[in-house]
Structure 1
Amino acid sequence: MDLRYSPEAERFRKEIRRWLDESVPPAWRVPGFWLERDGTTESLDLRRRWERDRFDNGFAGVDWPVELGGRGAGHETRAVHDEEMARARAPIGPYLGLTYLGTTLLGPTLLRYGTAEQKRRLPGILSGDTIWCQGFSEPESGSDLAGLRTTAVRDGDALVVTGQKIWTSMARYGDAMFALVRTGPPDSRHRGITFLLIDLTLPGVEVRPIRQLSGSCDLGHEFLDAVRVPIEGNVVGEIDGGWEVARYLLSVERQASPIGQYVEFLHELDDVIAAARRTAKDGRPAIEHPSIRARIARCRADLELLRVRAYDTMTRLGRGEDPGSEASVTKLLWSRTRLAIADLGADVLGVDGQRSSAPAGERAGHLRWRHLQVRGQRIAGGTAQIQRTLVARDLLGLPR
């Protein structure tokens, strides 16, 4: 197997690396920079301007059609894009990327299922003119996505939506939400679900922030009280046919940018190693303890497995294949590995590292934050139990 990128992809690497060197200030690359500005107007303004600059310079949606705001490149170029963005510690990904949900999840879904009118929204997604959030989870439904209770009743040319969504990423910044609503009878399960685009400025919408263990408020709880959503332009696919659309989006989410994740998590492991070199444990640097070194080695090995999975995904996409439930394997691997890195960081820091007033805590607040934050991120795209069920059923053919 030839694991080298094509000459065309390597030329793109040089181009995007030059732009990133100019557009991502050194201060942004310091661990903890964005954490210190969490929730501030400064953070939002900096990232909005950067997203617009990225679009204007042709580095947003590199694998999208040119006529829809992209660059028309292939999956290999997209992988180089993700790799270089992570290498530069650019403000992308599910936590910092204002356009992440729109470009990574909604965009590919509209490219596959959207009408011509809906596809005209795509340049605005890439530029950050419209920030999207995802309305799938609901109170009391847990991982049973088909158990959703938010209803949408047809009234003329509109769907009247009533219900709640919760654990919504980017809710505090979101202009609009792509959501699943029940348009069929209460017991219709998968057969009565519709994929709907909802403007969050419509009357009847209330968004409340949720503060997490880490202190961040990037998740939200939405209350929808008889919100009238025009059917035309906002139903993706068919009414009652949203489950097929949702399954495709979830498969995209579970295998989104594994090569970018590899580089990002490698940065996180490097941060832990740096902390282990300067943090004393039982009278000597933590890095000298065999148990710590063994855990570092295990995390490093698992990261290399993730890199191989990323190449496999890139190959499949290049052949026009849909990874399907194979994406669940990648999702299980990256969520397990990232948690292991975060837990290792917490163990290296010890008790002092959990107190911001202690010297270790002052130096490594980003590790403490990450240790708490990644627990919620492991649920995104489906819990480990859901992923194992999909692997057992669809890949291994095991009985229920």
Structure 2
Amino acid sequence: MAALALLAVAAALGPGLAVPRYRPDWASLDARPLPAWFDRAKVGVFVHWGVFSVPGQHDAAYESFVRRRFPPGTTYAEFAPHFTAHDFQPRQWSFSPLRYVVLTTKHHEGFTNWGSPVSWNWNSVDTGPHRDLVGELGEALRESNLRYGLYHSLMEWFNPLYLADKQRDFKTQSFVLKKTMPELYDLVLKYKPDVIWSDGDWEAPDSYWNSTSFLAWLYNDSPVKDTVVVNDRWGRGCSCRHGGFYNCADKYRPGTLPDHKWEMCSSLDRLSWGYRSNMSLLEVMDERSMIEELVQTVSLGGNYLLNVGPTKEGVIVPIFQERLLALGRWLDTNGEAIYESQPWRVQMENTTDTVWYTSKGPVVFAIFLLWPRDSVLHLSSPIPCPGTQVTLLGFGGTLEWQIQPGTGMLITLPYMLPSPLPPQSGWVVKLEGVK
């Protein structure tokens, strides 16, 4: 039936416009154009949430921590009933004006946040919350017109099928055929994600994971074939080489403009992706660092995926809420320079890493991370003309500027009143009529 439907569409489009079919090999799959919405979105939220949120600890003292907090002999499986999500109200997880959200549907320990038919009694419907967390969050996000991505770990640390395949040097595929692939197909058909954020691939080649066969189905015949984007973690050696957008590594930062769409995933908790009950304020990324990461990432053509780890009850702790709200306020004022922007011919000033550039058609945005002491901004890269107009986003009226012979433009910024509080980071000058 699917093949007949595709033929009907091709016939309707006419000769020369047949629907492309992707082969299950990287040469064909890598040639698929990335759906445009992803590059336009620029900013998303990563949510690491699961049974690992119960012990709420992620450091070298983990075993000591568990001994202090839980009865002797407690096993990891016994944490599941404590993963209650009692206070999880997905419509109160406010992520606007960010554009997409990626939720962990299953991490490396194998617990699924939906009722996976191949994860009996080790999922959020059979135990713990007794709720379909993947489905509930998806409904709430789509009511707010946010794109929904699903993180999924290909491997499971403790699954006997996986360990047996690993023992045989991945020459057998019992785990892939009975667990990984059924779950991926189930997630796509049930929740129709906008992003599949794959992970846990590094121990085995893509041929073991059946990655190219799955992606060919995803791009050719799935219900999200025209809109879904995927990352690059589909087997040992695939990272930064194959897939949709590239992650390359956690918290990856390229030094120069890459020639492929990429995403930087970062975490508000500098030491962990999941929730930690013993997290201190100094270990949380401050507003300035968060905005600097965003600006540098987007200037270099990337998307910025910022992680939070909710509690076992389903609460995004106040300090994370405050940081997300601060990022939202900054984007409310300066989002014109971020959303749907493109890298400019120069990504940063040659003399400093505190001025970064983005563009939209002929318009150039200079994003400066430090306010100059004399309130005069020096830009050496833009070439102005007599009709050049300069404005500061969030400030009414145009700004005066002059040519500094041989060194660019001098822009007179609005006067800032002295304040006992440290200034925010990141202001945007909009330049019209420059080269």
Please identify the structure whose Cα radius of gyration is greater: 2
TM-score (structure 1 length as normaliser): 0.24
More helix as a share of residues: 1
RCO comparison, higher one (Cα < 8 Å, 6+): 2
TM-score (structure 2 length as normaliser): 0.23
